[in-house]
Amino acid sequence: MPFGAGGRTYLILDQSLRPVAGDQLWFTEVDDLLSWPCESMPEVSAGIVVAATVRLYRRRVDPGFTPESIHSWLIRRPYATYLVRAEGRSMIDNGIHPGSLLVVDRSCDLHDGDIVIAGCIEGFLVKQYRTRPDRLVSGNSEYPDIALESVPKYGLDGVVIASLTRHRGLE
């Protein structure tokens, strides 16, 4: 049974779609595709939308909180804030991927569950701070926790208040 004219094939999308103007429908009793709305509907129970019109709409502007700029929203204390790029895969379950840009505030109070930058002799780590017992936890099960009472060489450098991950390359 031919689907379409001129050698074109139409993808059957969904039997439950409601057709809109311009969509193509197929009925088992009819050899050709019919454009919706149909001039003469075949006497059948249901048709299948095979070439649907898909419209994407931009989201309306949120009427709620609108910051003056992304800078004013992310950075509360510029004198104590810096940016650092993440490396490694130890925090992927927390949404921090290799290349993510981290916004770090050195003046924040430390709370259980905060993502922190911890300094050590080898360099810096990005981990989640947990209490009872005090430890640094990775966001990837392949990496072990670090118990702070047994390894006192780690020092808190700052709290990660945001992470930004690029999902589309530069054009």
Judge if the upstream peptide bond of residue 144 is cis by omega within 30 degrees of 0.
no
Respond yes or no: is residue 100 known to be catalytic.
no
Contacts of 149 (CB under 8 A, 6+ apart): 133, 134
What is the arrangement of strands in the sheet containing 24-26, beginning at the earlier edge strand?
34-35, 24-26, 48-51
**Beta pairing, strands 34-35 & 48-51:** unpaired
Say which of 100, 127, 138, 163 is annotated catalytic.
127
DSSP-derived 3-state class of residue 74? helix
Respond yes or no: is residue 163 known to be catalytic.
no
Say which of 90, 100, 138, 163 is annotated catalytic.
90
Active site residues: 90, 127
